[in-house]
Structure 1
Amino acid sequence: MAKGNPIEEQNTLMANGSKTDEVEQPQGFKKFLYNKEAGTVLGRTAKSWMQITVFYIIFYTLLAAFWVGCLAIFLNTLDPKVPRFYGKGTIIGVNPGLGYQPWLKENPDSTMIKFNIRDPASYEPFVKQMDSYLEKYQNTNGTRTCTGTMSNADAAEGKTEEPCLFSLSDFEKAQCSSKNGYGFKDGKPCVILSLNRLIGWRPTDFPKESVPEQVKDRYKPGSIALHCDGTNNPDKEHIGKVTYIPQSGIDGKYYPYQFMDNYHQPIAMVKFDSLPRNQVVLVECRAFALNIEHDITSRLGLVHFEMYLQDKDPKDSTTA
């Protein structure tokens, strides 16, 4: 190489630099992992690693303590027996909805009660669901028999801590119990109706002159009357005789609802005595009290389901 030639000198330096990088790069990374001369691991000495470890232990301990403290303060503001927000203006609202049983959890999207009167296996799931739902009423510990003016309002006012006992005797007398398969085997199925639990809600009575026509002959002040009918005109024609148990509906002495041990939610039953064979009937049931509004869109104060009573050979029932 001619000395003094800047182009050749630059090329030589660039070539030498490339060779040097190729040789020293792996060696530099190894020294970063462990440098014997400096006594470092990953660029830190043992003392440095100890200091940073102690720092993060203290930091995250204080952070966790701060989080636990905030959580404890928040939980201390909650009442385990009452939701923080309920009543008017909240998602819970003040208007109860109406629910029904039997509703099979195995088929949650279906509202059809379909069974074959000749095939016990077809209505066995509904009977089991009714048994399961009513099982809690067998436990009467911590409850009291409410007679006369006694009601759950006594518990709400702090006079007692025991809820009113809800008896199933009326349903047994009306042949709506486990003993007779809740009427399914006779083609007269019984359906449970109940209101959603709303803290502090109790029914408001209709004035005598404004009781709805559908329940006028069965209405009892202080209770929630129920009425079931066909959803459409053809269904109204075919739904047949309907029996309400009890006649006056859900007794108001079981309100207002509040958190109590072994609280028995009040229910009523509707017995369909003369359903048509092999025909689907769309049913709409409504609850009546002055402070219950009916809204089809949001299903407030009412519920829809379908009844389908089959009467055919079990071998052919699966095809319908």
Structure 2
Amino acid sequence: MAKGNPIEEQNQLMANGSKADTVEQPEGFKKFLYNKEAGTVLGRTAKSWMQITVFYIIFYTLLAGFWVGCLAIFLNTLDPKVPRFYGKGTIIGVNPGLGYQPWIKENPDSTMIKFNIRDPESYSPFVKQMDSYLSKYENTNGTRKCDGTMSNKDAAKGDFEESCQFSLADFEKAGCSAKNGYGFKDGKPCVILSLNRLIGWEPTDYEGDSIPEQVRDRYKKGSIALHCDGTNNPDKEHIGKVTYIPSSGIDGKYYPYQVMDNYHQPIAMVKFDSLPRNQVVLVECRAFASNIVHDITSRLGLVHFEVYLQDKDPKDKTTA
């Protein structure tokens, strides 16, 4: 072997094991977890772990305090009874929509009121839904009787804390109560109509001769008149007689709406007195006040549903 050749000398030394033994081996994972010689755990000494723990306790405490402080400031700017944003220009808007009952929650996509006058089981779900919806009016705690000029405006002004109590007596007198199954067993179903709740909204009266012809003979100032008719011309011919309870519609003394304990939402009912047998009738109901706009696309101020009165043997399964 020629002297002075560094490559050959290196190979010879490694082969003999003299230099290879002096090469430092990398730390293993176990030694990283706990190094007995250095007294470290995961590469840190006890003092280092204590320092970093104290740092993060202080850091997250200050961070949590900052977050709670910001949240408290934000909550103090909110009114628990009024949404932060409502009215014109918001998603809530200023134009109320119209809803109806009975609407079966178990079949939310259906707007058809279908029943067989000779089969109590067919209209039992609708009667139960009406019972459930109207049961809240039995609780009169925190409400007051509003006679004469009294209304929810008094509560809005701060004169009272209780909302006006809503009575179901008119519906019972007209044959729309649980006693007669809300007219279903007689083939004269009663349907509840109500406006959705808009903070601060109240009906505006029509001026002069601007009252729509559909409700002109039943319109009462301060109230919301209702009118139901067939959606299409054939439906208009077959819808028959419709009775409005009360005739003037929804009484305006229950407005404006605001958040109050046990608020009684005002409603009205329509009773279909002469529906055709075994024929679907498409119904459109509209609410009328000077500040209610009707928009078919967004269903503002109106509602659509179908009524299908069957008159057949319950055992007959041939007819849908």
What TM-score do the two structures reach when normalised by structure 2? Answer: 0.93
What residue is the counterpart of 1:150 in the other structure? 150
What residue is the counterpart of 2:118 in the other structure? 118
| Count of residue pairs the alignment pairs up | 317
Deviation of 1:57 after TM superposition, in Å, equals 1.1
1:279-320 deviation digits (Å, cap 9, x = unpaired): 111100000000100000010000001111111122335850
1:22-60 deviation digits (Å, cap 9, x = unpaired): 9934x5332211111111111111111111111111111
1:175-234 deviation digits (Å, cap 9, x = unpaired): 101111101111110000000111111111112311101011111111100000000011
* Residues 202-281 of structure 1: pairs in structure 2 closer than 5 A: 202-281=202-281
* Aligned equivalents of 2:11, 2:66: Cα separation in 1: 62
Q: What SS is found at the alignment partner of 2:165?
A: coil
Q: Percent identity?
A: 87
Q: What SS is found at the alignment partner of 1:197?
A: coil
Structure 1 stretches of 4+ with a deviation exceeding 4 A read 1-16
Q: Is the 8 Å Cα contact of residues 143 and 262 (structure 1) preserved in structure 2?
A: yes
Counterpart residue type for residue 67 of structure 1: W
* Residues 88-167 of structure 1: pairs in structure 2 closer than 5 A: 88-167=88-167
What residue is the counterpart of 1:53 in the other structure? 53
* Aligned equivalents of 2:308, 2:276: Cα separation in 1: 8
* Aligned equivalents of 2:113, 2:206: Cα separation in 1: 33
What residue is the counterpart of 2:65 in the other structure? 65
* Aligned equivalents of 1:282, 1:13: Cα separation in 2: 101
Q: Residue 11 and residue 117 in structure 1: after superposition, are their counterparts in 2 closer, same or farther (change >3 A)?
A: farther
What residue is the counterpart of 2:311 in the other structure? 311
* Aligned equivalents of 1:217, 1:268: Cα separation in 2: 17
* Aligned equivalents of 2:261, 2:307: Cα separation in 1: 35
* Aligned equivalents of 1:14, 1:293: Cα separation in 2: 96
What residue is the counterpart of 1:300 in the other structure? 300
Q: Is the 8 Å Cα contact of residues 34 and 41 (structure 1) preserved in structure 2?
A: yes
What residue is the counterpart of 1:175 in the other structure? 175
* Aligned equivalents of 2:212, 2:319: Cα separation in 1: 42
What residue is the counterpart of 1:283 in the other structure? 283
* Aligned equivalents of 1:161, 1:217: Cα separation in 2: 36
What TM-score do the two structures reach when normalised by structure 1? Answer: 0.93
Q: What SS is found at the alignment partner of 1:184?
A: helix
Q: What SS is found at the alignment partner of 2:56?
A: helix
Q: Residue 202 and residue 23 in structure 1: after superposition, are their counterparts in 2 closer, same or farther (change >3 A)?
A: same
Q: Residue 13 and residue 167 in structure 1: after superposition, are their counterparts in 2 closer, same or farther (change >3 A)?
A: farther
Q: Is the 8 Å Cα contact of residues 165 and 264 (structure 1) preserved in structure 2?
A: yes
Q: Is the 8 Å Cα contact of residues 116 and 317 (structure 1) preserved in structure 2?
A: no
Q: What SS is found at the alignment partner of 2:291?
A: coil
* Aligned equivalents of 1:31, 1:241: Cα separation in 2: 91
**Structure 1 position 24 matched with structure 2 position 25:** yes
> Unaligned stretches of 5+ in structure 2?
none
Question: In proportion to residue count, which structure has more helix?
Answer: 1
* Aligned equivalents of 1:313, 1:13: Cα separation in 2: 108
Q: Residue 103 and residue 318 in structure 1: after superposition, are their counterparts in 2 closer, same or farther (change >3 A)?
A: farther
Question: What is the RMSD of the two structures over their aligned residues, measured on CA atoms?
Answer: 2.2
Counterpart residue type for residue 28 of structure 1: G
Counterpart residue type for residue 77 of structure 2: T
Q: Is the 8 Å Cα contact of residues 155 and 161 (structure 1) preserved in structure 2?
A: yes
* Aligned equivalents of 2:181, 2:222: Cα separation in 1: 31
* Aligned equivalents of 1:29, 1:290: Cα separation in 2: 80
1:225-267 deviation digits (Å, cap 9, x = unpaired): 0000000011111111100000000011111111111111100
* Residues 29-40 of structure 1: pairs in structure 2 closer than 5 A: 29-40=29-40
Counterpart residue type for residue 24 of structure 1: Q
Q: Residue 10 and residue 224 in structure 1: after superposition, are their counterparts in 2 closer, same or farther (change >3 A)?
A: farther
Counterpart residue type for residue 177 of structure 2: S
Deviation of 1:9 after TM superposition, in Å, equals 5.6
